[in-house]
Structure 1
Amino acid sequence: MTKPRLFSGMQPSADSLQIGNYIGALMQWRGMQDDYDAFFTVVDLHAITVPQDPARLREKTRRTAAQYIAAGVEPSRSTLYVQSQVPAHAELAWILSTITGFGEASRMTQFKDKSQRYGSDQTSVGLFTYPVLMAADILLFQAEAVPVGDDQKQHVELTRNLAERFNSRFGETFTVPKPVIQGETARIYDLQEPTAKMSKSADSQAGVLYLLDDINVTAKKVMRAVTDSEGVVRYDRAEKPGVSNLLTIYAALSGREISSIEDEYAGRGYGDFKKGLRDVIVAEFEPVRARALELLEDTAELDRVLSANADRASEAAEETLSAVYERVGLLRRG
């Protein structure tokens, strides 16, 4: 029986992924590999919608791919590749852009937020068409499932609209994908600002846990995490955002129910609770960090693995692209 297709990816926008990426994406991807014909990519074409240093971009791309593998996304079980190594992404994005309305692209909230923040002169056309490239990423592989966070749901809806529009105009070509929205355990907040989503772009890095940080640095950040004055380990997102965030992390990494963790630390202080969480995080991160650094010691081998996977991805992508060119009326080389 043929497995349904799945597609997802992350930008190589930092030297290290953070715990929100790990819990919200990598842990879920790892568990989906057996049930889906999975395509996972490092979306470096998306990364250049803002200014990038070329050498640093290549380094961050390798580092991101190494962390995918170290976290359990296995190139032998999934198709793990670098986006720019499959030119069909950009080719399909151009075709989809010709059936995308200027108004509907303008309504994408991420573009509106960033253009307001940076101003129109500092906002690239690439950033404006980012959601169209994302649509091409998904439709290229006829993906049925797209694991995303809430902030990307609008982009998947655009993808669905474009697939249906193309199918209506040119005949059945694309699978209309469905978003797999990640649950509450995927929503990780800053350890120092627990009402703000954890992000590499935070003003302070004191509340961000990175996979490739030295384990001692990670342990100190956990022990210094913001809590409250009540001294009771219980989940209450509104009244106790700091403790609730730590409980969410604890539950996600340990596979336990939050209520079980609350019971374990009933009558005990935040110090004990943080030590327990620290031990859980270190146990999870330490082997991932070691494996990623090992992979990065032999970049030639890492590049070989990614290239072989890009060949697999290109083969699948070419099937879709050939059908699209035929239906649109483009004359392909023989």
Structure 2
Amino acid sequence: MAGAQRVFSGIQPSGVPHLGNYIGAIRNWVQLQKTCGNNVMYSIVDLHALTVHQAPLLLKRNIKNMTVCLLACGIDPKQSIVFQQSQVPEHCELMWLLSCQTPNGWLNKMTQWKSKGATDNKSFVNIGLYAYPILMAADILLYKATHIPVGADQLQHLELTCDIAHTFNSRYGVEFFPKPQPLLSEGKNQRIMSLRNPLQKMSKSDNQEMARIDITDTPDQVHNKIRKAVTDCTSAVTFEPEERPGVSNLVSMYSALSGKTTDEVVEDFTGKETVELKDGLTQVIISYLKPIQEKIIELEEDEGHIEQILTDGARRARERASVTIRGAKELLGIN
């Protein structure tokens, strides 16, 4: 990336991230700190989490746990701004200003909304779920972010953000908001699938704990989950995502954590069976997660330190956010 880049990304406080979160997003966030200087912001987007019912005490604990895990994975508050979304009220203020620029037809087209409307009990689908893409746009535009690490399933939301920014700029005759560009954070072998259904992404919302590896899982838990991971009736190790998604998912995980290509992993296991791949992958995961887990234990012992990081992060975020809000309100004639 050339020039002055401003990176923003957010993660919901689902508690402890799973291996898919780490490989597909968090590890890339750590690398971005090294290339973008002090222009990197990572938010724990707790307001987005409220689109479904949250037990208050559990949500509070999950916010802390997610912060601890991000830090343990390598997010450095000296290099990045790490903050809790709800502690920066300008997010909601800008969301309202942008809502008044956004046709509801745009929201009706959002794929995730249409899928939710089709599967959920419509009497319980709330306005927050419908409008949260505007909050996502506000999250990004509030800091005039230019580059957004996203997975392929979030590209539609980023396109909406660009449409909203363009509408605002055109209506008021200024280039106030930049057009944010995607940084696809799920490249080759970074899209980690469910251990129980390898046609679906590994997800925290999956009710089957056996479907994912949490980064705090013990060696015994890792061993048990990988041993029972769905593969197929062929014992050979190959990388064929379309034909053999289960085995290919295990090869992808091995590749992502070992630094080897998928071809190299397959070559290493030529003449061996899937059970041996599972045993090898188990050891790779356990070894990889060990220093992260040790750091988590260390950070959990100093709760005040975690709170201070979030407080400092919110202060730094508000310094930037307040400038954008003042400018937007001035253009709107309400400042």
**Would you say same fold, with TM above 0.5?**
yes
Instruction: Confirm or deny: 8 A CA contact 1:10 1:41 kept in the other structure.
Output: yes
Aligned partners of 1:89 and 1:129: how far apart in 2? 13
**Helix, strand or coil: the match of 1:39?**
strand
The CA distance in 2 between the partners of 1:111 and 1:158, in whole Å, is 13
Measured after TM superposition, the shift of residue 2 of structure 1 is 6.5
Equivalent residues in 2 for 1:88-103, closer than 5 Å: 88-103=90-105
Cα distance between partner residues in 2 of 1:106 and 1:219:
44
TM-score by length of 2: 0.95
State the distance in 1 between where 2:120 and 2:301 align: 37
Which shifted more, 117-126 or 257-266? 117-126
**1:174 matched residue in structure 2:** 177
Distance 1:298 1:312 in 2: 22
What is aligned with 1:211? 215
Local SS of the residue matching 1:320 = helix
Bigger Cα displacement from structure 2, 94-103 vs 209-218 = 209-218
Answering whether residue 135 of structure 2 is matched by residue 133 of structure 1, we say yes
Matched residue SS, 1:141: coil
Summarize deviations over 1:217-252 as a string: whole Å, max 9, x none.
Answer: 112211222222221111011221111000111111
Corresponding residue pairs, total? 330
Q: Which amino acid aligns with 2:159?
A: E
Please give the alpha-carbon distance, in whole angstroms, between the structure 2 residues aligned to 1:18 and 1:45.
21
1:261 aligns with 2:259: no
1:35 aligns with 2:39: no
- Aligned-pair distance for 1:207? 2.0
2:290 corresponds, among 279, 286, 289, to 286
Correspondences of 1:10-21 after superposition (within 5 Å)? 10-13=11-14, 15-21=15-21
* C-alpha distance in 2 between matches for 1:233 and 1:49: 42
Q: Structure 1 unaligned segments of length 5 or more: list them.
A: none
Which stretch has the larger CA shift, 149-158 or 209-218? 209-218
1:224 is matched with 228
Kept after mapping to 2: 8 A contact 1:62/1:296: no
1:245 aligned partner: 249
Assess if the C-alpha contact under 8 Å between 1:142 and 1:174 holds in 2.
yes
Query: Shift of residue 150 of structure 1?
Result: 1.4
Q: Is contact 1:3–1:35 with CA below 8 Å preserved after alignment?
A: no
Q: Which sits farther off after the overlay, 42-51 or 117-126? A: 117-126
Find the partner of 2:191 among 187, 192, 211: 187
Tell me, which stretches of 5 or more residues in structure 2 are unaligned? Answer: none
Preserved contact between residue 86 and residue 313 of structure 1 (Cα < 8 Å): yes
1:197 is matched with which residue: 177, 196, 201?
201
Per-residue deviation, 1:155 = 0.4
| Cα distance in 1 for residues equivalent to 2:73 and 2:220 | 20
Q: CA RMSD in A?
A: 1.4
Secondary structure of 2:43's aligned partner: strand
1:266-325: CA deviation from partner (whole Å, max 9, x where unpaired): 011222211211111111112212212322232221001111111111111111111111
Quick one: which of 49, 52, 55 aligns to 2:54? 52
Deviation at 1:172, TM superposition (A): 1.6
Deviations 1:98-120 (A, max 9, x none): 00101111111111211222232
User: Which piece of structure 1 moves more, 89-98 or 108-117?
Assistant: 108-117
Q: How does the TM-score come out when normalised to structure 1? A: 0.95
Map of 2:26 onto structure 1: 26
* Separation (CA, whole Å) in 2 of partners of 1:57 and 1:211: 19
SS of equivalent residue, structure 2 residue 250: helix
Q: Which residue of 1 is the match for residue 119 of structure 2?
A: 117
Q: Which letter maps to 1:178?
A: Q
Q: Does 1:270 align with 2:274?
A: yes
Amino acid at match of 1:238: E
